[in-house]
Amino acid sequence: MPKTIVTIKEPGLYTSIQDNGRTGHQHQGIPFGGVMDKESYHIANQLVDNPIDTPVLEMTLKGAIIEFDKSCQIAITGANMQPSLNNEPVGSYTTLNVQAKDILRFGQAKQGCRTYVAIRGEWKAKKWLGSFSAISQMKDHKNIPCALQAADSFSVEVFPFTEQRTYPIQKISLFSNCYVIRVISGPEFHLFHSDTLLNFFDRTFTVSTDSNRMGYRLEEKLEAYSNAVEKISSGIIPGTVQITHDGQPIILMADTQTTGGYPRLVNVIHEDIGFAAQMKPGDEVRFMLVNPE
Amino acid sequence: MKIEPFGQSAVLISFENEIDRAVHNKVIHLYERCKRHPEFTFLIPAYQSLTLGVDLNAIDLTNALQFIQQLAQEEDLSQTLRHVRKITLPVCYAPAFATDMPQVEALTQMDFKDIIQEHQTHSYRVFMLGFVAGFAYLGKLPQVLQVARKATPEKRVLAGSIGLAGLQTGIYPVDAPGGWQIIGRTPVSIFDASKDNPNFLRTGDEVSFRAISEDEFRLIEIKQEAGIYEPELEKDA
């Protein structure tokens, strides 16, 4: 099968290979990992007719410059980073044919935070514990995938071209600068004072710059909240919203550590985790309590 | 025992709210029972809780809660653990590795020799692997060694570092940020990414520490690189 070598000319802010991650290794303290926005991930692979669990490139806020040495098919989904191919603007949410030596270039996301690039074929890259996903907090381990740097490359065994597909424009998620995230009550919900709960659901929070694949810190602290009692550490999962001792909410995301000692106020519902993954620093977010059904 | 949904596809099982081997035994027994069932997609055993991921294609959350209840009743979760691995970890407490010893001396009002002696006297349970790549949380420390974490965490603590924090002593599996008070370092490779089970330690292990010289530290490092190091490990009947 022909093989295209994909070279990262410039990595952008944080570009990594991601797939479904490493669910099943958490008893060893290994993060779940995997794509932050699953919906955009699945659509990207569908558009190039890849198996659903094929890895993709995930870019953050500022995209990469990527060179393909052979022709192949790709699809771009998620946040709009004004993609161009050899300096000609190209569309997202559609199958694109790339020629040998083409250069795919991304700019900055105005709305949304993460952009995905699927490449049709079988990816040949570093794999650890069954997954291609880079782990953001584990650098310098030769067996473990990490974020892509300038001049890094990997190859994809290209499948024969499939027919061009376009994802219906009316079904594409619109990202804004303002999000309402639906949550259900978490294990320590009942331990919070009703004033604190009202304060949490009444107010608009701002996504802090101190946010990454491990979690989103929110800038505003809960009013009149203090908790000096350290809870005995227990399991935490992506989507858990924990409250630090001085009242700062943190939404845990894909690369979260597996255990933590802060009270777990609520959990983001599955349907909204991908949305949350598209929030960027400075965006506004509110929480809406829903019934788990 | 309390069983409750945690998010839409996980379950949290909690026992008595304390750090104690007897409570942790229940966690381990239930963990061992649950891990045989593929309906559970991941398991996070901790001090007094077990978090389980549920494969909603195989079982719905309500039935999963009942199933766990049933598994918990099939045996006496309070019984003592069998087949516990007893591990002796060589630790070098020399000043080059014990970067926070002066601080620990001040906090405990003990001499470093007594601190080292006290740290080695006890055997510790691995209560949990967490944080980054399976940081091992061991306990409980004797009261005289219980010190607060550093107010400001270090950006980088080297792999193998042994720290103190509250009731716990812990081992950094990889280089990582952290605020534990570092009193020594083990040359034993705690985390090896080339293995299917990358962590040398497992939840439920009993660990004790043995003081070694800087020379022995280097020797163990060399043996490991050559692949001839044998961990000091025995298994309970």
Same domain as B68, residue B177: no
Interface of B with A in 45-84 (CB under 8 A): 45-51, 53
Judged by CB atoms closer than 8 Å, whether chains meet at B193 and A143 is answered as yes
Assigned domain for B78 exists: no
Same domain as B192, residue B142: yes
Interface probe for B, chosen from A189, A234, A271, A273 (most Cβ of B below 10 Å), is A234
Assigned domain for B137 exists: yes
**Which of A24, A144, A234 lies closest to B193 in CB terms?**
A144
Same domain as B147, residue B110: yes
So what's the ipTM on this one? 0.95
pLDDT digits (tens, 9 = 90+) for B36-56: 999 999 999 999 999 999 999
Asked if B31 has any chain A CB less than 8 Å from its own CB, the reply is yes
pLDDT digits (tens, 9 = 90+) for A45-64: 999 999 999 999 999 999 99
Same domain as B66, residue B137: no
Same domain as B57, residue B148: no
Assigned domain for B153 exists: yes
Interface of A with B in 162-221 (CB under 8 A): 184, 186-187
Assigned domain for B105 exists: yes
Interface probe for A, chosen from B15, B42, B171, B174 (most Cβ of A below 10 Å), is B42
Same domain as B148, residue B183: yes
Give the total number of structural domains in chain B. 2
> What CATH number labels A178-289?
2.40.100.10
Give chain B positions within 8 Å (CB) of A184: 7-8
Answer whether residue A165 shows pLDDT above 60: yes
Q: Which of B73, B95, B123 is the last residue before a domain boundary?
A: B73
Specify the CATH number for the domain of residue B134: 2.40.100.10
Same domain as B208, residue B102: yes
**Which of A138, A184, A232 lies closest to B133 in CB terms?**
A138
Same domain as B113, residue B65: no
Judged by CB atoms closer than 8 Å, whether chains meet at B49 and A234 is answered as yes
Select from B43, B137, B38 the least CA-distant residue to A235. Answer: B43
Residue of B nearest to A184 (CA): B7
Model confidence at A293, pLDDT cuts 50, 70, 90, reads: low
Same domain as B196, residue B116: yes
How close does chain A come to B59, measured CA to CA in Å? 15
Judged by CB atoms closer than 8 Å, whether chains meet at B42 and A32 is answered as yes
Residue-level pLDDT, tens digit, chain B, 237 residues: 999 999 999 999 999 999 999 999 999 999 999 999 999 999 999 999 999 999 999 999 999 999 999 999 998 999 999 989 999 999 999 999 999 999 999 999 999 999 999 999 999 999 999 988 889 999 999 999 999 888 888 889 999 999 999 999 999 999 988 889 999 999 999 999 988 889 999 999 999 999 999 999 999 999 999 999 999 998 765
Judged by CB atoms closer than 8 Å, whether chains meet at A140 and B31 is answered as no
**Which of A23, A128, A257 lies closest to B131 in CB terms?**
A257
Assigned domain for B226 exists: yes
Q: Which of B47, B73, B99 is the last residue before a domain boundary?
A: B73
Interface of B with A in 109-128 (CB under 8 A): 128
Same domain as B226, residue B134: yes
Assigned domain for B79 exists: no
Same domain as B91, residue B27: no
How close does chain A come to B99, measured CA to CA in Å? 23
Domain of B16 in residue numbering reads as 2-73
Judged by CB atoms closer than 8 Å, whether chains meet at A138 and B31 is answered as no
pLDDT digits (tens, 9 = 90+) for A107-117: 999 999 999 99
Domain ranges of chain A: 3-160, 178-289
Residues A19, A56: Cα–Cα separation, whole Å: 6
Q: What is the pLDDT of residue A114?
A: 98
Query: What is the secondary structure of chain A as a DSSP string?
Result: --EEEEEEEE--SS-EEE-S--TT-GGGT----S-S-HHHHHHHHHHTT--TT--EEEEESB--EEEESS-EEEEEEES----EETTEE--SSBEEEE-TT-EEE--B-SS-SEEEEEESSEEES--BTTB----TT--S-TTS-----TT-EEEEEPPPPPPP-B--GGGSPPP-SEEEEEEEE-TTGGGS-HHHHHHHHHS-EEB-SS--SSEEEBSSPPTT----PPPPPEE--TTEEEE-TTS-EEEE-TT--SEE-S-EEEEE-HHHHHHHTT--TT-EEEEEE----
Asked if B138 has any chain A CB less than 8 Å from its own CB, the reply is no
At A87, give phi and psi (nearest 5°): 70, 5
Same domain as B130, residue B51: no
Assigned domain for B225 exists: yes
How close does chain B come to A135, measured CA to CA in Å? 10
